[in-house]
Amino acid sequence: MTVIYHGSDLPDDDRRPLLYGGDLFVFTPRPSTLELIRHAREMIEETFGEDPTRAQFGMPVEKFVQLGGPLKPAFIHHPRTKELIRDVVADLGCALEETYLDVPRLRLATSHGYLTAGVGYAFHPHRDTWYSAPMAQLNWWIPIYDFGPDAGMAFHPRYMHEPIRNGSAGFNYYRWNADGRKNAAQHIKADTRVQPKPEQEIELDPQIRIMGKAGSVLIFSAAHLHSTVPNTSGATRFSIDFRTVNLADIKNRVGARNLDSHCTGTSLRDFMRGTDLQRMPEEIVAMYDDGSASGGITVFTPEVHKMKDKAA
């Protein structure tokens, strides 16, 4: 059973166990999220003009990638973005002292297969935990413009309780940081990055699609099997997502049940404390580390690659 809590005022300590069990939490737009999307829209519209959801129809895909490529890191690293995300998390009842966040992502899903690789990658069914996310990770998803059910995200709830044969055993987070992510903008027609995928037939239906207005919030466990709905809406969908973990849960190894994730490395070093953006303490990371860091990069930053490129 998957319960969808709408506008719940349960405290975070009571909400997290439900999320780990596969329930979903949805909230209608509120001042903190509206402020966040106002900021995102400003940056998007500076890049794509005043009707960004239709910009794809007025330019070749190469141009779209050229514009969209720099927009994503600019949004991620904008100091105002981090502040606004923090406000959203606090507004929805998380104690910032205990809650660690990673940097937010800006996603764009173009319509009718215009761009499905690299910066516009349409995610096949996956659990984030196949990508070295901790089992206690929660994902937050916020649409920046109104969108339709043919442009969002789908959950495949059966698999919250059922293991899937998958390729996560071949995934190492540090290698991914070193090779996979920096090349996103180079993938225009096809995406050749190695990603953990199901290795069996997946029953995509029954599936759940949550429809919210721009500025609504959806929270779900990183262990949920989810996918990008192939966008046939006639408009590019723009959304923000980010991840949180609660320190006590990480320390106590509380989280979703691990049914089938066999990846190595951990993304825990990406998380920063809500109060002061201090990184996750190394002794906590060590609890989850498996010694697979050699030869890879433990934390992805564009600067590391600039240095590497210069050195090369």
Closer residue to Fe ion, CB minimum distance, 68 or 196:
196
Residue 227 C-beta: closest distance to Fe ion, Å: 8
Q: Is 128 in the site for Fe ion (CB under 5 A)?
A: yes
Q: Round to whole Å and give the CA distance between 223 and 160.
A: 7
Pick the stretch among 61-69, 120-128, 158-166, 303-311 that binds Fe ion (CB under 5 A). Answer: 120-128
Pick the stretch among 102-110, 128-136, 161-169, 252-260 that binds Fe ion (CB under 5 A). Answer: 128-136
Residue 126 C-beta: closest distance to Fe ion, Å: 6
Residue 221 C-beta: closest distance to Fe ion, Å: 11
Closer residue to Fe ion, CB minimum distance, 178 or 222:
222
Q: Round to whole Å and give the CA distance between 298 and 308.
A: 15
Closer residue to Fe ion, CB minimum distance, 58 or 123:
123
Q: Round to whole Å and give the CA distance between 258 and 208.
A: 21
Closer residue to Fe ion, CB minimum distance, 128 or 249:
128
- Cα–Cα separations (whole angstroms), residue 70 to 43, 63, 64, 192, 270: 11, 12, 11, 21, 21
Question: Residues 6 or more apart from 294 whose CB is under 8 A from it?
Answer: none
Closer residue to Fe ion, CB minimum distance, 175 or 243:
243
CA proximity to 298, closest of 311, 310, 312, 286 = 286
Through-space distance between the first and last CA atoms of the chain, rounded to whole angstroms: 53
Site string for Fe ion, 80-119 (x = CB under 5 A): ----------------------------------------
Residue type, 111: S
Residue 276 C-beta: closest distance to Fe ion, Å: 27
Residue 139 C-beta: closest distance to Fe ion, Å: 6
List, in sequence order, every residue forming a beta bridge with 217; answer none if it has no partner. 27
CA proximity to 264, closest of 158, 141, 170 = 170
Tell me which residues touch Fe ion (CB under 5 A).
Answer: 128
